[in-house]
Amino acid sequence: MSATRTGGRNGERPVDPEPLPHPVVDNHCHLDIAPYAAPDEPVPVAQALARSAAVGVPRIVQIGCDLPGARWARETANEFDAIVAGVALHPNEAPRLDAAGRLDEALAEIADLATDPRVRAVGETGLDTFRTGPEGREAQERSFRRHIELAQDLDKTLVIHDRDAHADVLRLIDETGAPNRWVMHCFSGDAEFAAACLERGAYLSFAGTVTFKNAQPLRDALLAAPADRILVETDAPYLTPEPHRGRPNASYLVPLTVRAMAAVRGADLAELCRAIDANTETAFGGTWGA
C-alpha cells in the first residue's frame, strides 16, 4: 500500500551516522508518511530497514495514527519481521471524526485492528491542546479513554501523545487506570513531570528533541530517569536530531539521539544501548518474533 501523506520542511536526507555498538529499536516511526524531500515518493520499507539496520537500528515500531495509517501499520508488520505495529486515532484526529459523526465507528475499527498479534501497541493516542481548541477537548478525552480501556482489555502497550496537556494526561490515566505497559511518546516534560509519569509505571521515550539547544528541561528529565525506563524513537519523518534539525528524519538517525542521551547521562554508550534494547522488548510485550 502506498502512502500519500507528507511531512513539513524540504531537505535532503542526512548522511549515515556511525553505527551503534549494540542494536536498539526505534519505538515510534511513521514510515507511511512521505519524507519531506520526496513528498510523493515514500521510502520503500525494505530500503528503510536496510539503512537503519546498517547503523544498529534493526527493528521499528510502526505507528498508525489514523484509519489509513493503522491499516497500513498492521499490513506492514505482517509483511516484515523487523516491524511491529501500533494503531490508534491521533488526538487531533478524534475531533474531526466526531464532527463528522464517525468517531465511534473509527474506534471500533481500531479495536478490531488491535487484536492482530503483530499489533503490539494502542497508540498514538492521548491529548493535544496545542492544535485542538476547547471545542474538541471532549472528543479527545472520550477517544483517549477508549484507547486506554482497549490497551487494558487486550493487554497491549499504550503509547501516549501529550502536547501541552501534562496534567490532563495524568488525570485521565489516574481516572481510567494505567495499563500494564505504557509509553510517553516523544517525552516533552521536565524532571518533575517525568517523576510523576514514572511513579505511575510509564516508560519515557526520547526523540531528537533531546538534542535541541533549548531542551534543557528535557535533558534534566532524561538524567533523572532510571536506566530501565528509557526508550528512544525518531517520530520520523519529524523531530530530526541535531545537527540535522529541519531535515527529514528516519530510523537510521537514531544513533545521533542515543549518543546525545549517553552524553547527558555520562553513560557508557554500549551499556545504554543494551538497556534501551531490553527496555523496548519489555515495554512492547516480549520477544519481537513472538
Per-residue pLDDT tens for 11-43? 578 999 999 999 999 999 999 998 866 666 677
User: Could you tell me the residue ranges of all domains in the chain?
Assistant: 25-283
Q: What is the mean pLDDT of the chain?
A: 93
C-alpha cell recorded at residue 157: 502497550
C-alpha cell recorded at residue 204: 519515557
Contacts of 199 (CB under 8 A, 6+ apart): none
Is 124 labelled a binding residue?
yes
Residue ranges in the chain modelled with pLDDT below 50: 1-10, 290
Is 235 labelled a binding residue?
yes
What type of residue sits at position 61?
V
C-alpha cell recorded at residue 150: 482497549
Per-residue pLDDT tens for 56-70? 999 999 999 999 999
Is 244 labelled a binding residue?
no
What is the widest separation between alpha-carbon atoms in the chain?
A: 52
Is 161 labelled a binding residue?
yes
* 249 to 7, 53, 72, 119: CA distances (angstroms): 10, 15, 20, 23
pLDDT at site 239: 97
Is 104 labelled a binding residue?
no
C-alpha cell recorded at residue 173: 490515566
C-alpha cell recorded at residue 234: 525518531
Q: Topology of 25-283 in CATH?
A: TIM Barrel (3.20.20)
